Amino acid sequence: MIGRDKMVRNWISAIALAASTLAPAYMARADDTASTAAQHSPQAMTLARVIIPFDLFIAQNRDSFVYGFDATTKNDAQAQALFAAYPGVREAIIATQLAELESALTTEHPVLLDRFATHFEQTYTPAEIVTISNFLQTPLGQKVLRLEYISIDQDQMLKAVTNGDGLTKSESDQLNAQVPQKIFMQLTPTERIQSTKFWMSATGRKLNANSANVQEIVRLWLNGVTEQFEKSAADSVINTVREFIEKADSKAAGS
């Protein structure tokens, strides 16, 4: 029994570590949410919502978390032993973490909207904001935004956010360097012409010139995590695994 208890503790520790190192990549500090009370022009807020639509924001982060969790535990012998011994525990862990993640992201979404709207108002004229928003709301603009979300190298991102130092500017630059070319290659010939026309316009050139500033907003948000959340994520996983094991063992003992 002592040996088994130690084995279970090792399993739990391995899974808790995986979750706690991934969670910071998708969370921001709670004390940043106060800034969302700032007032912005309707045009700036519209553009922010176009660029960071809630549904896509949630879906992308959910997909990234599952990808990262599986990649992190894939070569972990303790984690794989737990999954083999208790079928369904992986799914239970992920379901719990995703529910908490979505709840937290729902709170954090306005934080990013606020930061983006502030940037737009400080960088562009009202007319330029409307021009950018109009383009991004076209079918082509919507396609570009969707492609931008899925063009980040997930393995490269995972390595960056789990290195213990947060996402550095250099790593962020590397992650985003290949995105424009990846997007362009997935457009049709007609879409490429339309896209080039916008990006070669005065507003398009200005938007492109300031893309690094937008990337920096996202990077700082990604790194804005507290030790309290890391502990919360680990505790949540520990509780999920323990409850799952207790129920499974109880069921096995009664059969």
Helix/strand/coil for 167: coil
pLDDT digits (tens, 9 = 90+) for 40-82: 999 999 999 999 899 888 888 888 888 888 888 888 888 888 8
Helix/strand/coil for 1: coil
The Cβ of residue 211 has, within 10 Å, a number of other Cβ atoms equal to: 12
What pTM, to 2 d.p., does this model score? 0.76
Count CA within 13 A, CB hemisphere, residue 23. 31
pLDDT digits (tens, 9 = 90+) for 166-192: 667 787 777 777 788 889 899 999 999
Q: What does the longest C-alpha to C-alpha distance in the chain come to?
A: 73
pLDDT digits (tens, 9 = 90+) for 179-231: 888 898 999 999 999 999 999 999 999 999 998 888 888 878 777 654 445 55
In sequence order, what E strands does 41-156 have? none
* 156-191 core/surface letters (b: 16 or more CB in 10 A; e: else): ebbebbbeeebbeeebbeebbeebbeebeeebeeeb
**Per-residue confidence at 232, pLDDT binned at 50, 70, 90?**
low
The Cβ of residue 99 has, within 10 Å, a number of other Cβ atoms equal to: 11
